[in-house]
Each structure stands twice: as C-alpha cells, then as structure tokens.
A and B are shown apart, each in its own frame.
Chain A
Amino acid sequence: MSGLRHPEQRHPDATALAEYRAGLADGRRGRRLAAHVVSCARCASVSDQLAAVSSALSSVPAPPMPDLVERRITAALATEAAGLDSASAPTRPKRHVRLPRPALVASAVAACLVLFGVVFGLTRSPAGPASSAAGSSATSASSPLAGVAAPAASKPVFVVTASGTRYQPATLATQVRAQMAARYGGTNSAPANPGALQGAARPSGAAPGAVPSATLAGCVLHLTKQVPPSLVDRATYQGKPAYVIAVPDRVWVVGPDCTASSPDLITSTGL
C-alpha cells in the first residue's frame, strides 16, 4: 500500500494544492494534504510548479507609466483643479477634421499612441521598459503640469487627414497613391519613426492632420500590424463615410466605427 487510506486521497488537483499552499486547507483536509505532499513526488513537483508560477509572475517588471498617459491624466487633473468639468470643456475640433470625442481626449489619443509604441517597442527591446519610457517620463516629472497648455503637442504615430476625396472601388489604388504622393512626395516615404509625419512637408492646401481618436488609432495600428501608416484619410468610399488607411503596399477601407477588436473592414487591396 502507498500509505493513502482512502481512494479520494489520490493525487489532489492543482487547485487543491494551491489552496493548501496558500494556507486555506486546515483541519483534517490540511493534514491529509500535508501528508500526501511530503510522500508523493508527483504532487511535490506540482507544488513546486505552483511556486514557479508565483515566481514567474513576480519576475515581470512593472512597466512605468508612459509619458503621454501621465500627461493626459495630469492635464485632466489640472482641468479639474481649475474647476472645469472635463465633460463641459468648450473646445471643439474644427469641422473638417471632426474627432469622435471632445478635444480633451485628443491628448488621450496621443497618449495611447505612444503607449502602443512603448508597449510594442518593449516587446522587441530586450533592454526593457527603462530605456524607452523612463527617460521620457523624467522630463515631465519635474514639472507636473507640463503638457497642460498643449496636451496634444506630443508627437502621434500618425495624423488623420480629411482630403475630401471620394474614393471609388475602381480607382481606389490610384486615388490612394495620389494622396500619398501629394502628402509625402511618393509612396515609398513612409515615416521611419513615429512622429515623422508631424514634420513632413505638406503641400499647400492639404488639410493639416488631426490627432486620431484612441479608437481609431487602435483600429489603424491593428490593421497595419503596428506599422505607422502612410495615409489615414477621412473621406468617403462609394459615397459613404469611411477611413482610408494605407501603408506603402496596402490599403484598407474601414467604416467610421472601426476599432481594434472590430475593424469594420469594407475592403482591402494591395498597392
């Protein structure tokens, strides 16, 4: 015999062992589990593995707050401190670059964009969070209200234009190439780094870019697999409101309600 007197004293499952380890099994059950674990190599191993789970969790460094999230929240708090309800902030985006949410959120948008950058940068950078986020947050940490005056002044990954183009299925690729050429002088000059678009020369007459909403940013970066898009144009497709999103070799047309989890994709084609 193995020393276990009852059939139910066969190997306890991982949850029972985890509860035992957490001190939740007392009385007879606790004694039974204790006796079992010391005499059973298999369950001792599971118990070790439960410890390894905790250890794996604790070994993940806590990510510092991205700079733009900090600015956004600092700005929101400053708005509160000024006695303004953020919901009644009077600022309104211009009509031709209408944003889905009030302007205060624009900073949030930028925040999320950089957040994306930080998060995804981290996944590729073995150097860890400190290199990308800590340095930038240090600058504003010294002045808590930095960014209040210009919450959207930070560089977004991309901007949204409103060219007014009426895109059509037959001419989509041509129209997109024309838009990209008009904005950046060619289809191969996609920005190499986030923020490059802000400084890109714009032809006179082109609408200045607007900072995208967080939802739109999530949608766009989802579609482009985090590649900064060459073009995000708020326009119409077959007469209906749509965003036209392009990287140098591909274009997507999505409905106005596109989100990362529900892209609302109308069409997509290579360029």
Chain B
Amino acid sequence: MVTPDAPEPSDADLLRSHVAGDAAAFGLLFQRHKDRLWAVALRTTCDPEDAADALQEAMISAFRRAKDFRGDSAVTTWLHRIVVNAALDRLRRRPARSVSWSGDPDALETLLAQDGRGEAAPFIPSPRADSVDTRLDVDAALRLLPAPQRAALVLVDMLGYPVAEVAAILGLSEGTVKSRCARGRARLLPYLAHLRGDSAAGGNRAVTDAVSPEGGGG
C-alpha cells in the first residue's frame, strides 16, 4: 500500500487544497505517488510509451476531476483507479499490436520462444536467480495475459496490494479479482514457475507434464 510518508499534509488535505485553488498541491500529490503510479501504468500497458501517455492522461483527468472526489475511498485508490482505467483504455484503442514488444531484443526472443506455449516451455533459459533475467521473463510472460487479467495480477502479485484494495481500484468484487489473479497465475505457470525468486529451482519437474489435465490421470 502507498504509505503517506510525508509528515505534513495528508493526501486528502492536498486534494482539498488543490480544489481550493492551491496551484502546487496537486503537483505534490503526484510527486508523492509517482513511482507507484508509474509502475502500475508500465506493468499494465507493458509499453513505456503507452504508460507515459496513459499516466499523463490520468493525471490531467484527476487534476480536473478532483472536485468530484467524494472521499469514499482513499485518494491513492482513486488515483490508481484513474491510472488503470487510462492504461486499459489506451490498450483498447491500440488493439493492433497483438504482440507488444518493448523493443528489447532479448525480451522479443523470449516472447517468441514462448509463443508455442507448452512445447516451447522447455527451451526457456536456465532459471538463474539473476534479477535481470527474472524481470525479462516476467515482462515477456505478462504480455501473454489479457489486459484486465494482467491489471489484477500486477496489482496483487507484483505490487502487493491487498485484494480488497485492488477490488476497489478496479471496481470489481473481491471474488472477481481473485478469479482473474488465479487464472493469470495458471496461465503464467508454464513460463514463470521456474523462477522461484530466491529459492533453488532445482528439483522442478517438467512443468508442462504436471499441468496437463490428462497427463497420467487415474
């Protein structure tokens, strides 16, 4: 969760000051939460250009709509909602790129290698715990998810928001958020289960074998 770590005015104070005409207040609010909001936009769109555009749209929108904020959620929740909506909206307006590529050659190779799903999974590079490799694989894998599913999973698993808050951000029930996350995890399992964070990856059996519903049943 975003913690208002600045001692002075709360987020709500800043928003009120902004509505009251304080020209600097909204900028301070943006400064306070920019990294989180950026991460949300970037992970949801999987594209830095789209993320920057979406975030700017979102901030302008929030700036203009601040007076409509009723305080029935945290200011951060409200800001996140606007950012996620802007990001999803931008993706809807750019449907042409079925495979969106950040421009990184390694990411592209990973993406292409994984395109064949189950078959290609064994060719995934060795599961080094190196964080750069992890991130590349995660970036590539996230693109495989439908955007609404990705938005939920990014907020819950990547950024660590509580399900209840993600439900408020996305305007969904908690059950729907959990369901989207569960489906997203299952979808990513063939691509990411080899990345066990810190713990040793040794001893993994072949993932594709394990997830097949037919495999050796009965």
Contacts and interface: CB of A to CB of B under 8 A. Distances in A.
Contacts of B81: none
A203 interface: no
A12 B132 CA distance: 33
Given A13-B186, A22-B181, A144-B27, A45 B205 contact: yes
Contact of B130 (A73, A120, A126): A126
A45 B52 contact: no
B189 A46 contact: yes
A141 to B, nearest CB: 6
Contacts of A221: 103
A94 interface: no
B63 interface: yes
Interface string A3-44: 000010011111101110111100000000000000000100
B102 interface: yes
B189 A14 contact: yes
Category for how many chain B residues contact A: 35 or more
B96 A261 contact: yes
A57 B138 contact: yes
Contacts of B106: 123
A135 interface: no
A112 B182 contact: no
B183 interface: yes
A122 B134 CA distance: 12
B9 interface: no
B103 A120 contact: yes
Contact of B211 (A13, A52, A73): A13
B10 interface: no
A221 B102 CA distance: 11
Nearest to A74: B27
A58 B157 contact: yes
A211 interface: no
Contacts of B178: 19, 22-24
A62 B159 contact: yes
B176 to A, nearest CB: 10
Contact of A52 (B96, B105, B137, B197): B197
A65 B40 CA distance: 11
Interface string A252-270: 0000000011100000000
B169 interface: no
B24 interface: yes
A78 B210 contact: no
Interface in B141-168: 153-154, 157-160
B196 interface: yes
Contacts of A7: 218
A75 B126 CA distance: 44
Given A62-B39, A65-B34, A112-B48, A45 B210 contact: yes
A201 B178 CA distance: 58
Interface string A51-65: 011111111111111
Interface stretch (B54-62, B67-75, B85-93): B54-62
A131 interface: no
A271 B192 CA distance: 42
Contacts of B112: none
A55 B137 CA distance: 13
A71 B78 CA distance: 22
Interface in B176-218: 178-179, 181-183, 185-189, 192-199, 204-205, 207, 210-211, 213, 215-218
Name, among A42, A52, A82, A119, the residue most crowded by chain B CB atoms within 10 Å (CB to CB). A52
A115 B51 CA distance: 10
B14 interface: no
B182 A22 contact: yes
Interface of B: 23-24, 26-28, 30-31, 34-39, 42, 48-49, 51-53, 55-56, 59-60, 63-64, 96-97, 100-107, 130-132, 134-138, 153-154, 157-160, 175, 178-179, 181-183, 185-189, 192-199, 204-205, 207, 210-211, 213, 215-218
Given A21-B182, A77-B60, A144-B27, 7 more contacts: A15-B186, A55-B196, A62-B39, A76-B56, A81-B24, A126-B131, A141-B31
Which 5 A-B pairs have CB atoms at the shortest separation, nearest pair first?
A: A10-B217, A49-B193, A65-B38, A18-B182, A56-B195
27 contacts: A2-B218, A11-B215, A19-B183, A42-B210, A42-B216, A46-B189, A49-B207, A49-B210, A53-B157, A53-B185, A53-B189, A55-B196, A56-B195, A58-B197, A59-B195, A59-B197, A62-B159, A65-B37, A65-B38, A72-B52, A82-B23, A108-B56, A111-B52, A123-B107, A123-B135, A124-B132, A126-B132
